[in-house]
Chains A and B, each alone.
Chain A
Protein backbone atom coordinates (compact mmCIF):
# COMPACT_ATOMS: atom_id res chain seq x y z
CA UNK A 1 0.00 0.00 0.00
CA UNK A 2 1.36 3.41 -0.94
CA UNK A 3 2.11 5.56 2.06
CA UNK A 4 -0.39 8.40 2.40
CA UNK A 5 1.44 11.65 1.97
CA UNK A 6 0.39 15.26 1.59
CA UNK A 7 -0.74 15.92 -2.00
CA UNK A 8 -0.39 19.19 -3.88
CA UNK A 9 1.66 21.93 -2.29
CA UNK A 10 2.45 20.47 1.14
CA UNK A 11 2.98 23.95 2.56
CA UNK A 12 -0.50 25.10 1.57
CA UNK A 13 -3.18 24.32 4.17
CA UNK A 14 -6.50 22.97 2.96
CA UNK A 15 -9.68 24.06 4.60
CA UNK A 16 -11.61 21.73 6.88
CA UNK A 17 -14.66 22.27 9.02
CA UNK A 18 -15.26 21.16 12.58
CA UNK A 19 -18.41 19.02 12.73
CA UNK A 20 -18.13 17.69 16.26
CA UNK A 21 -16.27 18.54 19.42
CA UNK A 22 -16.26 16.74 22.75
CA UNK A 23 -14.44 17.17 25.99
CA UNK A 24 -12.20 14.24 26.89
CA UNK A 25 -10.49 15.64 30.00
CA UNK A 26 -10.42 18.95 31.84
CA UNK A 27 -7.89 20.35 29.35
CA UNK A 28 -8.33 17.99 26.40
CA UNK A 29 -10.80 18.00 23.53
CA UNK A 30 -11.45 15.86 20.49
CA UNK A 31 -12.53 17.57 17.30
CA UNK A 32 -13.90 15.88 14.22
CA UNK A 33 -13.28 17.50 10.85
CA UNK A 34 -14.71 17.09 7.38
CA UNK A 35 -13.10 18.35 4.23
CA UNK A 36 -13.58 18.09 0.52
CA UNK A 37 -9.88 18.48 -0.06
CA UNK A 38 -8.22 15.45 -1.60
CA UNK A 39 -5.69 13.34 0.25
CA UNK A 40 -6.40 14.51 3.78
CA UNK A 41 -8.52 11.65 4.98
CA UNK A 42 -6.18 8.77 4.14
CA UNK A 43 -3.52 8.29 6.78
CA UNK A 44 -1.53 5.56 8.41
CA UNK A 45 -1.65 5.02 12.19
CA UNK A 46 0.97 7.20 13.83
CA UNK A 47 0.96 9.98 11.26
CA UNK A 48 0.12 13.59 12.10
CA UNK A 49 -1.39 16.68 10.51
CA UNK A 50 -0.41 20.31 10.85
CA UNK A 51 -3.57 22.05 12.08
CA UNK A 52 -3.80 25.78 11.50
CA UNK A 53 -5.96 27.97 13.72
CA UNK A 54 -6.40 30.95 11.44
CA UNK A 55 -4.68 34.03 12.73
CA UNK A 56 -3.12 32.17 15.66
CA UNK A 57 -0.75 29.55 14.37
CA UNK A 58 -0.08 25.98 13.38
CA UNK A 59 0.65 22.89 15.47
CA UNK A 60 1.46 19.26 14.75
CA UNK A 61 -1.34 17.04 16.05
CA UNK A 62 -1.43 13.27 15.59
CA UNK A 63 -4.44 11.69 13.93
CA UNK A 64 -6.36 9.70 16.53
CA UNK A 65 -9.27 8.29 14.56
CA UNK A 66 -9.85 5.00 12.77
CA UNK A 67 -7.78 4.74 9.58
CA UNK A 68 -10.28 2.34 7.99
CA UNK A 69 -12.69 4.13 5.74
CA UNK A 70 -12.59 7.32 7.72
CA UNK A 71 -14.88 10.01 6.38
CA UNK A 72 -13.68 12.55 8.88
CA UNK A 73 -10.44 13.49 10.54
CA UNK A 74 -10.27 13.02 14.29
CA UNK A 75 -7.76 14.86 16.45
CA UNK A 76 -7.45 14.91 20.22
CA UNK A 77 -5.88 18.13 21.41
CA UNK A 78 -4.62 19.18 24.79
CA UNK A 79 -4.80 22.85 25.59
CA UNK A 80 -1.20 23.62 26.55
CA UNK A 81 -0.50 26.88 24.73
CA UNK A 82 -1.88 29.59 22.50
CA UNK A 83 -2.21 27.51 19.33
CA UNK A 84 -3.46 24.32 20.95
CA UNK A 85 -5.94 26.34 23.01
CA UNK A 86 -7.28 27.92 19.82
CA UNK A 87 -7.53 24.54 18.10
CA UNK A 88 -9.14 22.82 21.09
CA UNK A 89 -11.60 25.69 21.32
CA UNK A 90 -12.91 25.35 17.76
CA UNK A 91 -16.61 24.63 17.83
CA UNK A 92 -18.77 22.89 15.21
CA UNK A 93 -19.01 25.09 12.13
CA UNK A 94 -15.58 26.63 12.65
CA UNK A 95 -12.98 26.26 9.93
CA UNK A 96 -9.29 25.59 10.14
CA UNK A 97 -6.38 24.81 7.86
CA UNK A 98 -4.96 21.31 7.57
CA UNK A 99 -1.71 20.08 6.03
CA UNK A 100 -0.80 16.42 5.97
CA UNK A 101 -0.67 13.61 6.64
CA UNK A 102 2.99 13.65 7.54
CA UNK A 103 5.57 11.36 9.05
CA UNK A 104 6.26 7.71 9.59
CA UNK A 105 3.71 5.21 10.88
CA UNK A 106 3.45 2.47 13.50
CA UNK A 107 4.79 -0.77 11.94
CA UNK A 108 1.49 -2.62 12.17
CA UNK A 109 2.28 -4.86 9.19
CA UNK A 110 5.60 -5.89 10.75
CA UNK A 111 3.65 -7.04 13.80
CA UNK A 112 1.59 -9.62 11.88
CA UNK A 113 2.05 -13.01 13.53
CA UNK A 114 3.77 -11.42 16.53
CA UNK A 115 2.64 -10.51 20.01
CA UNK A 116 2.03 -6.78 20.36
CA UNK A 117 2.62 -4.72 23.48
CA UNK A 118 1.17 -1.22 23.30
CA UNK A 119 2.39 1.05 26.09
CA UNK A 120 0.72 4.43 26.33
CA UNK A 121 1.21 7.26 28.78
CA UNK A 122 -1.17 10.16 29.31
CA UNK A 123 -2.18 11.72 26.03
CA UNK A 124 0.12 9.26 24.25
CA UNK A 125 -2.90 7.03 23.88
CA UNK A 126 -4.22 9.35 21.15
CA UNK A 127 -1.50 8.64 18.53
CA UNK A 128 -1.71 4.93 19.38
CA UNK A 129 -5.47 4.67 19.00
CA UNK A 130 -5.42 4.32 15.19
CA UNK A 131 -2.94 1.44 15.56
CA UNK A 132 -5.21 -0.19 18.15
CA UNK A 133 -8.19 0.15 15.80
CA UNK A 134 -6.16 -1.54 13.12
CA UNK A 135 -4.90 -4.33 15.41
CA UNK A 136 -8.39 -5.06 16.70
CA UNK A 137 -9.99 -4.88 13.26
CA UNK A 138 -7.61 -7.58 12.06
CA UNK A 139 -7.30 -9.36 15.40
CA UNK A 140 -6.69 -12.83 13.97
CA UNK A 141 -3.51 -11.72 12.20
CA UNK A 142 -1.69 -11.00 15.46
CA UNK A 143 -0.63 -13.00 18.49
CA UNK A 144 -1.40 -11.74 21.98
CA UNK A 145 -2.16 -8.05 22.25
CA UNK A 146 -1.56 -6.12 25.46
CA UNK A 147 -2.42 -2.49 26.09
CA UNK A 148 -0.71 -0.94 29.11
CA UNK A 149 -1.92 2.54 29.90
CA UNK A 150 -0.51 4.83 32.55
CA UNK A 151 -1.69 8.28 33.43
CA UNK A 152 -1.64 10.83 36.18
CA UNK A 153 -4.83 10.13 38.11
CA UNK A 154 -8.21 8.45 37.54
CA UNK A 155 -9.67 11.73 36.27
CA UNK A 156 -6.95 11.89 33.60
CA UNK A 157 -7.85 8.63 31.88
CA UNK A 158 -8.29 9.36 28.20
CA UNK A 159 -10.97 7.58 26.13
CA UNK A 160 -12.32 5.96 29.31
CA UNK A 161 -15.46 4.59 27.63
CA UNK A 162 -13.46 3.07 24.83
CA UNK A 163 -11.03 1.51 27.30
CA UNK A 164 -13.99 -0.01 29.14
CA UNK A 165 -15.26 -1.45 25.87
CA UNK A 166 -11.84 -2.87 25.02
CA UNK A 167 -11.52 -4.30 28.51
CA UNK A 168 -14.64 -6.35 27.85
CA UNK A 169 -12.93 -7.80 24.81
CA UNK A 170 -11.51 -11.12 25.94
CA UNK A 171 -8.70 -11.26 23.40
CA UNK A 172 -7.05 -8.04 24.54
CA UNK A 173 -5.03 -7.76 27.75
CA UNK A 174 -5.70 -4.29 29.10
CA UNK A 175 -4.10 -2.87 32.23
CA UNK A 176 -4.46 0.69 33.46
CA UNK A 177 -2.43 2.38 36.16
CA UNK A 178 -2.31 5.87 37.63
CA UNK A 179 0.47 7.72 39.42
CA UNK A 180 -1.72 8.56 42.38
CA UNK A 181 -5.34 8.17 43.39
CA UNK A 182 -7.87 8.56 46.14
CA UNK A 183 -9.42 5.62 47.91
CA UNK A 184 -12.34 5.54 45.49
CA UNK A 185 -10.00 4.17 42.80
CA UNK A 186 -9.80 0.39 42.91
CA UNK A 187 -7.38 -0.03 40.04
CA UNK A 188 -3.63 -0.19 39.92
CA UNK A 189 -1.42 2.61 41.24
CA UNK A 190 2.19 2.86 40.12
CA UNK A 191 4.30 3.56 37.05
CA UNK A 192 3.29 2.05 33.72
CA UNK A 193 6.29 -0.31 33.59
CA UNK A 194 4.99 -1.99 36.76
CA UNK A 195 2.19 -3.38 34.59
CA UNK A 196 4.56 -5.45 32.47
CA UNK A 197 4.61 -8.49 34.80
CA UNK A 198 0.81 -8.55 34.66
CA UNK A 199 0.55 -9.32 30.96
CA UNK A 200 1.61 -12.32 28.94
CA UNK A 201 3.73 -12.01 25.81
CA UNK A 202 6.70 -13.73 24.23
CA UNK A 203 9.54 -11.17 24.23
CA UNK A 204 11.35 -12.95 21.42
CA UNK A 205 8.40 -12.44 19.08
CA UNK A 206 6.97 -9.18 20.27
CA UNK A 207 6.56 -5.82 18.61
CA UNK A 208 6.14 -2.96 21.09
CA UNK A 209 4.57 0.42 20.37
CA UNK A 210 5.20 3.18 22.91
CA UNK A 211 3.86 6.70 23.09
CA UNK A 212 3.85 9.15 25.96
CA UNK A 213 6.18 11.53 27.72
CA UNK A 214 9.73 10.91 26.58
CA UNK A 215 10.92 9.95 30.07
CA UNK A 216 8.21 7.30 30.22
CA UNK A 217 9.10 5.96 26.77
CA UNK A 218 12.82 5.78 27.61
CA UNK A 219 12.24 3.72 30.72
CA UNK A 220 9.44 1.74 29.12
CA UNK A 221 11.68 0.78 26.21
CA UNK A 222 14.50 -0.22 28.57
CA UNK A 223 12.12 -2.33 30.67
CA UNK A 224 10.94 -4.12 27.52
CA UNK A 225 14.51 -4.59 26.39
CA UNK A 226 15.43 -6.02 29.80
CA UNK A 227 12.64 -8.57 29.33
CA UNK A 228 14.15 -9.62 26.02
CA UNK A 229 12.30 -7.56 23.40
CA UNK A 230 14.75 -6.60 20.64
CA UNK A 231 15.47 -2.83 20.43
CA UNK A 232 14.58 -2.97 16.74
CA UNK A 233 11.12 -4.27 17.66
CA UNK A 234 10.44 -1.43 20.09
CA UNK A 235 8.94 1.64 18.42
CA UNK A 236 8.46 5.07 19.95
CA UNK A 237 6.67 8.17 18.78
CA UNK A 238 8.87 11.21 19.23
CA UNK A 239 7.69 14.73 19.79
CA UNK A 240 9.51 17.96 19.00
CA UNK A 241 8.29 21.40 18.01
CA UNK A 242 7.67 21.42 14.28
CA UNK A 243 7.21 24.15 11.74
CA UNK A 244 7.34 22.98 8.13
CA UNK A 245 6.71 19.25 8.72
CA UNK A 246 8.80 18.55 5.62
CA UNK A 247 12.32 18.37 7.01
CA UNK A 248 13.25 21.73 5.49
CA UNK A 249 13.23 24.21 8.35
CA UNK A 250 15.24 22.13 10.84
CA UNK A 251 13.02 23.07 13.77
CA UNK A 252 12.52 19.46 14.82
CA UNK A 253 16.03 18.23 14.10
CA UNK A 254 16.94 15.25 16.25
CA UNK A 255 20.55 14.29 15.69
CA UNK A 256 20.92 13.60 11.99
CA UNK A 257 17.18 13.15 11.58
CA UNK A 258 14.07 15.28 11.50
CA UNK A 259 11.18 14.15 13.66
CA UNK A 260 8.62 15.42 11.13
CA UNK A 261 10.07 13.54 8.18
CA UNK A 262 12.04 10.59 9.59
CA UNK A 263 9.66 10.21 12.54
CA UNK A 264 7.63 10.63 14.55
CA UNK A 265 7.65 6.84 14.84
CA UNK A 266 11.15 5.44 15.15
CA UNK A 267 12.67 2.28 16.54
CA UNK A 268 14.47 2.25 19.85
CA UNK A 269 17.45 0.72 18.04
CA UNK A 270 17.64 3.87 15.94
CA UNK A 271 16.94 6.57 18.50
CA UNK A 272 17.61 5.00 21.89
CA UNK A 273 21.08 6.47 22.25
CA UNK A 274 19.93 9.88 20.99
CA UNK A 275 17.29 10.01 23.71
CA UNK A 276 20.01 10.16 26.35
CA UNK A 277 21.72 13.22 24.80
CA UNK A 278 20.46 16.19 26.79
CA UNK A 279 21.16 18.76 24.07
CA UNK A 280 18.73 17.04 21.69
Chain B
Protein backbone atom coordinates (compact mmCIF):
# COMPACT_ATOMS: atom_id res chain seq x y z
CA UNK B 1 0.00 0.00 0.00
CA UNK B 2 2.76 2.39 1.06
CA UNK B 3 4.85 1.43 -2.00
CA UNK B 4 1.90 2.11 -4.27
CA UNK B 5 1.42 5.54 -2.68
CA UNK B 6 5.11 6.27 -3.00
CA UNK B 7 5.08 5.24 -6.64
CA UNK B 8 2.38 7.79 -7.29
CA UNK B 9 4.33 10.50 -5.50
CA UNK B 10 7.52 9.56 -7.34
CA UNK B 11 5.90 9.62 -10.74
CA UNK B 12 4.60 13.10 -9.95
CA UNK B 13 7.99 14.35 -8.82
CA UNK B 14 9.93 16.44 -11.34
CA UNK B 15 13.03 14.28 -10.95
CA UNK B 16 11.27 11.07 -11.99
CA UNK B 17 8.86 12.57 -14.50
CA UNK B 18 8.19 10.21 -17.43
CA UNK B 19 9.88 7.24 -15.76
CA UNK B 20 8.36 3.95 -16.91
CA UNK B 21 5.78 2.85 -14.26
CA UNK B 22 7.45 -0.55 -13.81
CA UNK B 23 10.80 1.13 -13.09
CA UNK B 24 9.07 3.66 -10.88
CA UNK B 25 7.68 0.76 -8.84
CA UNK B 26 11.22 -0.61 -8.45
CA UNK B 27 12.44 2.76 -7.20
CA UNK B 28 9.49 3.14 -4.86
CA UNK B 29 10.42 -0.18 -3.26
CA UNK B 30 13.55 1.54 -1.91
CA UNK B 31 11.79 4.63 -0.64
CA UNK B 32 9.91 5.98 2.32
CA UNK B 33 8.36 9.26 3.30
CA UNK B 34 10.36 11.39 5.70
CA UNK B 35 9.88 14.70 7.45
CA UNK B 36 12.36 17.11 9.01
CA UNK B 37 11.76 20.26 11.00
CA UNK B 38 13.55 23.56 10.42
CA UNK B 39 17.06 23.32 11.83
CA UNK B 40 17.27 19.52 11.54
CA UNK B 41 20.14 18.06 9.57
CA UNK B 42 19.34 15.59 6.80
CA UNK B 43 22.96 14.44 7.04
CA UNK B 44 26.38 15.60 8.12
CA UNK B 45 29.71 15.74 6.35
CA UNK B 46 31.68 12.52 6.78
CA UNK B 47 28.67 10.29 7.43
CA UNK B 48 27.89 7.36 5.12
CA UNK B 49 25.89 8.47 2.08
CA UNK B 50 23.40 5.65 2.46
CA UNK B 51 20.37 7.46 1.02
CA UNK B 52 19.28 10.50 -0.92
CA UNK B 53 16.18 12.67 -0.86
CA UNK B 54 13.62 13.94 -3.31
CA UNK B 55 12.19 17.14 -1.90
CA UNK B 56 8.42 17.49 -1.97
CA UNK B 57 8.20 20.56 0.22
CA UNK B 58 10.61 22.97 1.88
CA UNK B 59 14.17 24.13 1.33
CA UNK B 60 17.48 22.59 2.30
CA UNK B 61 20.82 24.39 2.62
CA UNK B 62 24.17 22.75 1.86
CA UNK B 63 26.94 23.91 4.17
CA UNK B 64 30.61 23.30 4.79
CA UNK B 65 32.39 24.50 7.88
CA UNK B 66 35.67 26.31 7.49
CA UNK B 67 37.96 26.84 10.49
CA UNK B 68 37.47 30.30 11.92
CA UNK B 69 34.65 31.10 9.51
CA UNK B 70 31.85 28.89 10.73
CA UNK B 71 29.40 27.18 8.38
CA UNK B 72 29.39 28.52 4.81
CA UNK B 73 26.24 28.04 2.81
CA UNK B 74 26.98 27.31 -0.85
CA UNK B 75 23.68 26.06 -2.26
CA UNK B 76 20.02 25.88 -1.38
CA UNK B 77 17.57 23.54 -3.06
CA UNK B 78 13.83 23.30 -2.85
CA UNK B 79 10.68 21.50 -3.92
CA UNK B 80 11.18 19.25 -6.95
CA UNK B 81 14.92 19.02 -6.44
CA UNK B 82 17.23 16.28 -5.24
CA UNK B 83 19.42 16.26 -2.14
CA UNK B 84 22.49 14.04 -2.28
CA UNK B 85 24.55 12.55 -5.06
CA UNK B 86 27.44 11.08 -3.05
CA UNK B 87 25.54 7.79 -2.72
CA UNK B 88 26.30 7.17 -6.40
CA UNK B 89 30.05 6.76 -6.14
CA UNK B 90 32.39 5.10 -3.63
CA UNK B 91 33.25 5.71 -0.87
CA UNK B 92 29.56 6.73 -0.47
CA UNK B 93 30.26 9.49 2.04
CA UNK B 94 28.66 12.93 2.43
CA UNK B 95 30.96 15.86 1.69
CA UNK B 96 28.85 18.58 3.28
CA UNK B 97 26.06 19.14 5.78
CA UNK B 98 22.45 19.35 4.60
CA UNK B 99 20.25 21.43 6.87
CA UNK B 100 16.50 21.93 6.72
CA UNK B 101 15.66 25.63 6.47
CA UNK B 102 11.98 24.97 6.99
CA UNK B 103 9.74 21.95 7.44
CA UNK B 104 10.80 19.36 4.91
CA UNK B 105 8.68 16.66 3.39
CA UNK B 106 10.67 14.33 1.19
CA UNK B 107 11.07 10.83 -0.08
CA UNK B 108 14.23 9.17 1.21
CA UNK B 109 15.61 6.49 -1.07
CA UNK B 110 17.83 3.76 0.32
CA UNK B 111 21.10 3.94 -1.61
CA UNK B 112 22.22 0.33 -1.38
CA UNK B 113 18.77 -0.94 -2.26
CA UNK B 114 18.72 1.23 -5.36
CA UNK B 115 22.31 0.46 -6.37
CA UNK B 116 21.57 -3.28 -6.11
CA UNK B 117 18.48 -2.87 -8.29
CA UNK B 118 20.52 -0.95 -10.84
CA UNK B 119 23.12 -3.73 -10.92
CA UNK B 120 20.36 -6.23 -11.53
CA UNK B 121 18.49 -4.10 -14.07
CA UNK B 122 20.76 -1.94 -16.20
CA UNK B 123 17.77 -0.31 -17.83
CA UNK B 124 16.87 1.15 -14.44
CA UNK B 125 20.51 2.15 -13.99
CA UNK B 126 20.50 3.93 -17.33
CA UNK B 127 17.29 5.78 -16.49
CA UNK B 128 18.82 6.93 -13.20
CA UNK B 129 22.00 7.99 -14.99
CA UNK B 130 19.94 10.10 -17.42
CA UNK B 131 18.44 11.90 -14.43
CA UNK B 132 21.50 12.29 -12.26
CA UNK B 133 24.12 13.23 -14.86
CA UNK B 134 22.35 16.45 -15.99
CA UNK B 135 21.94 17.36 -12.32
CA UNK B 136 25.64 16.75 -11.70
CA UNK B 137 26.63 18.75 -14.77
CA UNK B 138 24.36 21.63 -13.72
CA UNK B 139 25.88 21.68 -10.25
CA UNK B 140 29.43 21.42 -11.57
CA UNK B 141 28.80 24.30 -13.92
CA UNK B 142 27.17 26.41 -11.22
CA UNK B 143 30.04 25.67 -8.85
CA UNK B 144 32.52 26.76 -11.51
CA UNK B 145 30.68 30.07 -11.89
CA UNK B 146 30.62 30.57 -8.12
CA UNK B 147 34.37 29.86 -7.99
CA UNK B 148 35.01 32.48 -10.68
CA UNK B 149 33.61 35.05 -8.26
CA UNK B 150 32.10 36.84 -11.26
CA UNK B 151 30.66 39.62 -9.10
CA UNK B 152 33.97 40.42 -7.46
CA UNK B 153 36.32 43.21 -8.43
CA UNK B 154 38.40 42.30 -11.43
CA UNK B 155 39.18 45.79 -12.69
Which residues does A use to contact B, with CB under 8 Å? Answer: 27, 78, 80-81, 84, 121-123, 150-152, 156, 179-183, 185-191, 193-194, 197-198, 212-213, 215-216, 219
Complex Cα spacing A193 to B139, Å? 11
Contact A182 B71 (CB under 8 A): yes
Which residues from chain A contact B118 at a C-beta distance below 8 Å?
Answer: none
A44 to B150, CA, bound (A): 27
Q: Which residue of B lies closest to A81 (CB)?
A: B155
**Bound Cα distance A150, B148 (Å):** 14
Write the nearest CB–CB distance from B150 to chain A, whole angstroms: 4
B76 close to A (CB within 8 Å): yes
Q: A190-B76, A191-B142 are in contact. Are A179 and B151 (CB under 8 A)?
A: yes
Known contacts A215-B148, A216-B150: A188-B76 contact under CB 8 Å: yes
Find out whether the CB atom of A182 lies under 8 angstroms from the CB atom of B70.
yes
A183→B63 contact, CB < 8 A: yes
Residues of B within 8 A of A (CB): 61-63, 70-78, 80, 99, 101, 141-142, 145-146, 148-153, 155
Known: A151-B151, A213-B150. 7 other contacts (CB 8 A): A80-B153, A183-B70, A189-B73, A191-B145, A194-B142, A216-B150, A219-B141
- B61 to chain A: which residues have CB within 8 Å? 183, 189
B54 CB to nearest A CB, Å: 15
Could you tell me if A219 and B153 are in contact, using CB atoms closer than 8 angstroms? no
Chain B residue nearest in CB terms to A194: B142
With A152-B149, A219-B145 already in contact, the answer to whether A180 and B101 are too (CB < 8 A) is no
Is B149's CB under 8 angstroms from A189's CB?
no
Q: Are the CB atoms of B151 and A213 closer together than 8 Å?
A: yes
Contacting pair B72 A182 (CB below 8 A): yes
Given A81-B155, A151-B151, A156-B151: A189 touches B75 (CB 8 Å cut-off): yes
Tell me whether A179 and B146 are in contact in the complex, defined as CB-CB below 8 angstroms, given that A121-B151, A152-B152, A213-B151 are known contacts.
yes
Cβ–Cβ < 8 Å partners of A123 in chain B: 151
CB distance from B148 to the nearest CB of A (A): 6
Which of A84, A122, A188, A189 has the most chain B CB atoms closer than 10 A to its own CB?
A: A189
9 closest Cβ pairs, A-B complex:
A80-B155, A122-B151, A213-B150, A152-B151, A191-B142, A181-B73, A189-B76, A179-B146, A189-B73
A198 to chain B, nearest CB (A): 8
Query: Given the complex of chains A and B, what is the CA–CA distance between A183 and B73 in angstroms?
Result: 7
B75 — which chain A residues lie within 8 A by C-beta?
Answer: 189-190
Contact sample, A vs B, 7 pairs, CB 8 Å cutoff:
A121-B151, A152-B151, A179-B149, A183-B70, A185-B73, A189-B73, A215-B148
List of A residues within 8 angstroms of B80 by Cβ: 197
Q: Select from chain A the residue with minimum beta-carbon distance to B59.
A: A188
The CB with the most chain A CB atoms within 10 A, among B63, B75, B80, is that of: B75
A212 engages B151 (CB within 8 Å): yes
CA distance A197 to B70 in the complex (A): 30
Q: Chain A's nearest CB lies how many Å from the CB of B12?
A: 16
Report the minimal beta-carbon distance from B52 to chain A, rounded to whole angstroms.
Answer: 18
User: Whole-angstrom distance between the alpha carbons of A213 and B72 in the complex?
Assistant: 23
Closest CB of chain A to B2's CB: distance in Å? 29
Residues of A near B148 (CB, < 8 A) are 215
Chain B residues contacting A81 (CB-CB under 8 Å) are: 155
A27 touching B153 in the complex, CB below 8 Å, given contacts A180-B73, A182-B70: yes
CB-CB under 8 A from B152, the residues of chain A are 152
- Rounded to whole Å, the gap between the CB of A157 and the closest CB of chain B is 11
Contact across chains for A180 and B72 when beta carbons are under 8 A apart:
yes
| Residues from chain B with Cβ under 8 Å of A182 in the complex | 70-73
Residues of A within 8 A of B70 (CB): 182-183
Nearest CB in chain B: distance from A63 CB, A? 21
Would B145 and A216 count as touching, CB distance under 8 A?
yes
**B62 proximity list for chain A (CB < 8 A):** 189
- Bound-state CA distance A237–B99 (Å) is 37
Q: How far is the CA of A84 from the CA of B155 in the complex (A)?
A: 11
**Separation in Å of the B36 CB from the closest CB of chain A?**
16
